[in-house]
Amino acid sequence: MKAYLGIDVGSVSINIVVLSETGEVLTGLYLRTEGKPIEIIQKGLKRAEKSMLAGVEICGAGTTGSGRYLAGVMVGADTIKNEITAHAVAASTHIPDVQTVFEIGGQDSKIIILRNGIVTDFAMNTVCAAGTGSFLDQQASRLNIPISQFGKLALQSNIPVRIAGRCTVFAESDMIHKQQMGYGIADIIKGLCEALVRNYLNNVGKGKEILPSVVFQGGVAANVGIKAAFEKELNLPVHVPKHFDIMGAIGAAQLAKEEVARAGTTRFKGFSITGLPYRTKSFECNGCSNTCEVVEIYEGETVIGRWGARCSKWDL
């Protein structure tokens, strides 16, 4: 059976997918980055290889996410694409008539607008962490509630509580204030979910025409309270795909499949890279006034990739 590897390297998680030629997810891994992307990529690939059934052959690989170049040179990726492209491809593969994609991850959020299967507009919020997974994790920990129960508690609320959601600091202080006023935890959590959705739509979705079908993906899509708040605010159904937390990796695998079909061959190095030593170092280029910081990645003693330069001087 032919299959394709997709790797999404983010700031909080690294997602690895083995996708069959028919688009079925044979393996889907969601791993915490833990500040060690190279080590976690190798660990994840070992797990992916062990999980593969006999007769499954990886015929191509693609990478996406903020660490896509790092992962791409390590595995020999056929495609290295940005998150917008990968998430749009994955969403349109699962829901062909999708016109709006909400994607909220660990530390950033984005909106993607599609018309007739083509990305026509997008926006990202990488400055404010309000509404992202790391902020919700922090609040769940502060309230001593498992993050898996956070959204379910919001659905139990019957009393509306308005929380200031434009900033993580204001949101947290407002939650504490509402607790001191005697509001219940479920009511406060629901108010927070609604505040974060308002913040997302006012900042990330500002000026965008949000049309159905609407797809919600990324780690935060597991929070049913956020999903319900989106549906209430938009008065539209919001679809959460089965593999909502690894959609970027699915898109990367799908893009790899298309590239290999076009090129007729693959650059994938195989799973043997899990046993190779990798290291990175950087230097400052003094060739011009830009003084770029150039990062190199070594496989053993061989430089296999460089990035960070504004010109082609250090291209391999």
What is the rounded distance in angstroms from the CA atom of residue 151 to the CA atom of residue 224? Answer: 5
CA-CA distance, 19 to 313, in Å (whole number)?
37
**pLDDT category of residue 217 using cuts at 50, 70 and 90:** very high
Could you list the residue range(s) of the whole structural domain that residue 123 is in? Answer: 96-240
Picking from 174, 286, 162, the residue whose alpha carbon sits closest to that of residue 229 is: 162
pLDDT, position 79:
98
Q: What is the pLDDT of residues 171-195, one digit of tens each?
A: 778 888 888 888 888 998 898 888 8
What does the angle CA 220 – CA 221 – CA 224 come to, to the nearest 5 degrees? 105
Q: Kindly state whether residue 313 falls inside one of the protein's structural domains.
A: no
Whether the per-residue pLDDT at 240 is higher than 80: the answer is yes
Co-location of 181 and 100 in the same domain: yes
Digit-coded pLDDT (tens) for 17-52: 999 999 999 999 999 998 899 999 999 999 999 999
Question: Which CATH number does the domain housing residue 55 bear?
Answer: 3.30.420.40
The reported pLDDT for the residue numbered 166 is 67
Is 312 within the bounds of a domain? no
Predicted confidence (pLDDT) at residue 131 exceeds the cutoff of 80: no
Residue 297 and residue 268 share a domain:
no
Domain identity same for 188 and 265: no
CA pseudo-torsion sign 223, 224, 227, 232: negative
pLDDT reported for residue 106: 77
Alpha carbon distance 16, 51 (integer Å): 12
**122 and 141 together in one domain:** yes
Amino acid at 316: L
Alpha carbons 74 and 68: distance in angstroms, whole number: 10
Alpha helices in the chain, H assignment, sequence order: 37-51, 68-75, 83-94, 133-142, 147-154, 168-180, 185-203, 224-234, 247-263
Q: Would 204 be classed as within a structural domain?
A: yes
| Number of structural domains found in the chain | 3
* pLDDT number for residue 128: 65
Task: For residues 194-209, give the mean pLDDT.
Answer: 88
What pLDDT sits at residue 107? 76
User: Does 230 share its domain with 297?
Assistant: no
